[in-house]
Amino acid sequence: MFHSLKRPSAMLCLALTTIAIAGCGDDEPGKIARNAGEVVANIALQESNDVVGVAAQPEAEEFAESAEPDLCYGSLGCLPVHEKQEAKSVAVRMAAAESNTAELRKFFPGGSKQTTHLFSPSEAALKEAAGIVAANAALERAPADLLILAGELYLDGEYLMQDFKHAIALGERAWLADRQLASALLASIYLRMGDLNNTYLWSVRCIGECRSSPYMVHQSTLLEVLDPAVILSIQESAADRIILRVRPSSHMR
């Protein structure tokens, strides 16, 4: 997809320069030619054996912000530094089209605004990828991890229009598919809505791997504000996996 001209390596340039300088005072031109051929052949062989390939070192002033290696992604291969942003834009679209949640998490980490830098995908690419994620999550057999990611995108409202109703529906589908991580998403949604009863329902269910989610809601504050009788009732409901909602808090926003 991408094409670039490969500049001579620094090693090759240095070798040729050294040979040229040596030749100025050498009385054996045949020997110089043989040495030149050997040096060039050895460097060419070394570079041809380099499977990954390293882009020519850019000028320090032009790319002072980046110390990253070339980007490698699937069929794209490894790309020069100046093509990284475009390549990452392609990569996030490809990951979305393939519903590759592990790869998508590199671009949509969740819990906070996407951190951007010189080589991040473009805003247009991220929005397009988010739209593809949402469309794939709407399919009947969408994987649970994709449902959770789509729910997070709807909750955050950065690359998709914020929609709590859609986010809740996706989270509930993931929960019913036995994905524990969905409880963190649902607790966070209800907290944003100001429904502390359902926030507590899902925060109680957030155990194990769920505790590492950036969307996890700590129960300590909830326990301070909820009525003890309500707390006991919600804990009883939380034990029944089929119960998806309890009576909302009376002071919802």
Question: What is the SS3 assignment for 142-200?
Answer: CCHHHHHHHHHHHHHCCCCCCCHHHHHHHHHHHHHCCCCCHHHHHHHHHHHHCCHHHHH
- Tell me: pLDDT of 138 over 70: yes
Q: What is the pTM of this model?
A: 0.67
Confidence at residue 253, expressed as pLDDT on a 0 to 100 scale? 54
pLDDT digits (tens, 9 = 90+) for 12-69: 444 444 444 444 444 444 444 444 445 434 434 444 444 334 344 444 334 344 444 5
What's the pLDDT band for 119 if we cut at 50, 70, 90?
low
Residue 170, Cα to own-chain centre: how many angstroms? 20
Torsion, Cα of 178, 181, 187, 189 (10° steps): -100
Q: Measure the CA–CA gap between 56 and 64, rounded to whole angstroms.
A: 14
Confidence at residue 84, expressed as pLDDT on a 0 to 100 scale? 79
Choose the weakest-confidence range: 61-70, 105-114, 195-204: 61-70
List the structure tokens of 51: 């499977």
Contact 104, 136 (CB under 8 A): no
